[in-house]
Chain A
């Protein structure tokens, strides 16, 4: 019985135009946000959400395409942040050069990490990803001479001349640009043969290998791309925020919040993680204002994550769109009604072959199935 992936009845030529228009409107809204926002605090909230959106989209290269759930991407963003910071403070590189070099370093590091982690699947992979974050917290907290340990590491601002509000404005646009880069890369892979292969890995890894897809290489490549983008997000955050603390940077909680955002928004959609970041980010900000920094926000995060996993594992977008379709779409009968004409048409295209003459059954009878 055909599923909801049937082409819609609406005019097919209109859809790409509508989609482009929606994207243009969205982009315009985002770019004009600092002007609309009114005060620098709101701009920082916007930056926080954009940062989450970058991390969630970057995570979604692995989670969305291959189906491997990594709870360890916090490790990669943390490494990006610290690498950027150390390249500026210790190696003396200019800020944005440090950012790019840091991302390249993390991407290079992601090759052996990915090679080890991706050899296993399912539960073991998740365990490895969590272990990665936990061990990095341990290392970075203990290695005080290098990282300042629990006292934190201060990163000099890239534009010391700018005053606060301007600094936030500039970084808002930088983050928006990074998000655009991440979205473009995701879109490119999504429509490509590489992306289709990754999605096949998600559906049935052994079967895709039997069809000729070099599954390990594919997974590793997308993991490195994901790591690079995540590291860029972490590094840009370091340049903007200016102060790094290992417990916050290498946080399984942060990493999982990012996963929640991607899941909530929908991992199979380009804008899913971004929308999830918007919803959850705004929610977190609101909760922080209402409840202060109490443990209640943990309870809230946990409950929302639990509900999403149980009720809408595909994310809000598919859940909403099926709801919308049910309320506003053309009335579909529960059993697909096939008219006589359609049945005839179907039969004409694939005529049932004439039945084979029944052979003597004796020698086949004793063959056990």
Chain B
């Protein structure tokens, strides 16, 4: 599952949702939504609150089962599979309300993401040299390596966001779903996260980002999908979306 950083973007890391429908009680979160993300690119999903973006993520990653429709990845149907299977298939994901393991140290937070296979690997020490070096590498890249022994609950919000991102990357996914990475974060850090996303994209990772911060979206994304009321209403590169009247209408509700 490890993609070497020097490889060209995998053209087969194709993530698609076809005809997804999901309701919660009386509320329809996704309504026959079909999205085909561009592999090897930075994709964005934008839209007003309640338009189904996080539900889309939840359906893709297996946290909830759609009432109808399919999710396929690399040509395989992954609809409704257990989240850990989907994670091991190469799709990583961060959460809207940043989730880290609060009473574990920063280093341990990353070491958890090592996906051991086989009995021997499971019983091996969690503090193997290779794993620790790799974890430290990611921490250094995020700029939080000096916090290695701090418990995650003692980090600031911004530091936790970076930690969560580092953890997702530690699992070495091909495709990364980020749910509001800029949420509640100061502008300098937003810039840093944006730069990081573009760097990782250049190294071969596909991104799908749910975001409200339009500056960030327009700056770093190659392909934008606009959601409204449970389905996409427009998609295209930033320049096209920026001037699309239906998008403005969805946001302004005119």
Instruction: Give every chain B residue within 8 A of A281 (Cβ-Cβ).
Output: none
Q: Assess whether B215 is interfacial by the CB under 8 Å rule.
A: yes
User: CA separation between A346 and B147, bound complex, in Å?
Assistant: 10
Instruction: Give every chain A residue within 8 A of B212 (Cβ-Cβ).
Output: 367, 369
Q: Assess whether A33 is interfacial by the CB under 8 Å rule.
A: no
A211-B87, A214-B84, A355-B187 known; A192-B93 Cβ under 8 A: no
* A156-199 with Cβ < 8 A to chain B: 188-189, 191-197, 199
* Contact B154 A1, beta carbon cutoff 8 Å: yes
* B129-179 with Cβ < 8 A to chain A: 143-147, 149-151, 153-154, 167-168, 171
Instruction: Give every chain A residue within 8 A of B190 (Cβ-Cβ).
Output: 356
* Contact A200 B112, beta carbon cutoff 8 Å: yes
Instruction: Give every chain A residue within 8 A of B84 (Cβ-Cβ).
Output: 209-215
User: CA separation between A204 and B95, bound complex, in Å?
Assistant: 12
Q: Assess whether A203 is interfacial by the CB under 8 Å rule.
A: yes
**Chain A CB within 10 A, most for which of B48, B111, B113, B154:** B113
| Nearest 3 A/B pairs, CB to CB | A350-B143, A203-B101, A212-B87
User: CA separation between A225 and B191, bound complex, in Å?
Assistant: 48
A-B interface contact total, Cβ < 8 Å: 138
Instruction: Give every chain B residue within 8 A of A203 (Cβ-Cβ).
Output: 101-104
* Contact B242 A212, beta carbon cutoff 8 Å: no
Known A-B contacts: A192-B125, A211-B168, A368-B49. Give 20 more (CB < 8 A).
A1-B154, A2-B149, A6-B150, A188-B123, A192-B122, A193-B123, A193-B124, A193-B125, A204-B100, A204-B102, A207-B95, A207-B99, A210-B63, A210-B84, A350-B146, A355-B188, A355-B191, A364-B213, A366-B252, A367-B251
A342, closest chain B residue (CB): B146
* Contact B149 A192, beta carbon cutoff 8 Å: no
* Contact B126 A196, beta carbon cutoff 8 Å: yes
* Contact B214 A363, beta carbon cutoff 8 Å: yes
Q: Assess whether A208 is interfacial by the CB under 8 Å rule.
A: yes
Q: Assess whether B116 is interfacial by the CB under 8 Å rule.
A: yes
Q: Assess whether A294 is interfacial by the CB under 8 Å rule.
A: no
Query: Closest CB-CB distance, B139 to chain A, in whole Å?
Result: 10
A191-B125, A193-B116, A212-B87 known; A5-B171 Cβ under 8 A: no
A361, closest chain B residue (CB): B215
Q: CB < 8 Å: which of A196, A214, A356, A366 contacts B251?
A: A366
* Contact A368 B123, beta carbon cutoff 8 Å: no
Instruction: Give every chain B residue within 8 A of A193 (Cβ-Cβ).
Output: 111, 114, 116, 121-126
Q: Assess whether A359 is interfacial by the CB under 8 Å rule.
A: yes
Q: CB < 8 Å: which of A199, A355, A364 contacts B104?
A: A199
Query: Closest CB-CB distance, B215 to chain A, in whole Å?
Result: 5
Q: Assess whether A3 is interfacial by the CB under 8 Å rule.
A: yes
A211-B171, A369-B212 known; A192-B126 Cβ under 8 A: yes
* Contact A3 B125, beta carbon cutoff 8 Å: no
- What are some 19 contacts across the A-B interface (CB < 8 A)? A3-B153, A6-B150, A191-B125, A192-B124, A193-B111, A193-B124, A194-B116, A194-B123, A196-B112, A207-B95, A209-B82, A211-B92, A212-B87, A213-B84, A214-B84, A350-B144, A366-B251, A367-B251, A368-B49
Q: CB < 8 Å: which of B113, B144, B188 contacts A212?
A: B113
* Contact B149 A364, beta carbon cutoff 8 Å: no
Which residues does B use to contact A, with CB under 8 Å?
Answer: 48-49, 61, 63, 82-85, 87-88, 92-93, 95, 99-105, 108, 111-116, 121-127, 143-147, 149-151, 153-154, 167-168, 171, 187-188, 190-192, 195, 212-215, 242, 251-252
Instruction: Give every chain B residue within 8 A of A207 (Cβ-Cβ).
Output: 95, 99-101
Q: Interface size for chain A: under 10, 10 to 19, 20 to 34, or 35 or more residues?
A: 35 or more
Query: Closest CB-CB distance, A314 to chain B, in whole Å?
Result: 10
Instruction: Give every chain A residue within 8 A of B252 (Cβ-Cβ).
Output: 366
User: CA separation between A200 and B170, bound complex, in Å?
Assistant: 15
A6-B149, A212-B171 known; A353-B192 Cβ under 8 A: yes
User: CA separation between A243 and B88, bound complex, in Å?
Assistant: 51
A196-B112, A364-B213, A366-B251 known; A3-B122 Cβ under 8 A: no
User: CA separation between A334 and B191, bound complex, in Å?
Assistant: 34
A200-B104, A349-B145 known; A206-B63 Cβ under 8 A: yes
B189, closest chain A residue (CB): A353
User: CA separation between A60 and B224, bound complex, in Å?
Assistant: 49
B144, closest chain A residue (CB): A350
Instruction: Give every chain A residue within 8 A of B95 (Cβ-Cβ).
Output: 207, 210
Q: Assess whether A12 is interfacial by the CB under 8 Å rule.
A: no
* Contact A192 B123, beta carbon cutoff 8 Å: yes
* Contact B126 A5, beta carbon cutoff 8 Å: no
B89, closest chain A residue (CB): A212
* Contact B151 A191, beta carbon cutoff 8 Å: no
User: CA separation between A199 and B188, bound complex, in Å?
Assistant: 34
Query: Closest CB-CB distance, B63 to chain A, in whole Å?
Result: 7
A192-B124, A207-B99, A356-B187 known; A368-B104 Cβ under 8 A: no
Query: Closest CB-CB distance, A325 to chain B, in whole Å?
Result: 16
User: CA separation between A352 and B113, bound complex, in Å?
Assistant: 27
User: CA separation between A215 and B116, bound complex, in Å?
Assistant: 13
User: CA separation between A93 and B115, bound complex, in Å?
Assistant: 43
* Contact A7 B171, beta carbon cutoff 8 Å: no
Interface 0/1 of A145-157, CB less than 8 Å to B: 0000000000000
A200, closest chain B residue (CB): B112
Instruction: Give every chain A residue within 8 A of B126 (Cβ-Cβ).
Output: 191-193, 195-196
User: CA separation between A7 and B108, bound complex, in Å?
Assistant: 15
* Contact B87 A368, beta carbon cutoff 8 Å: no
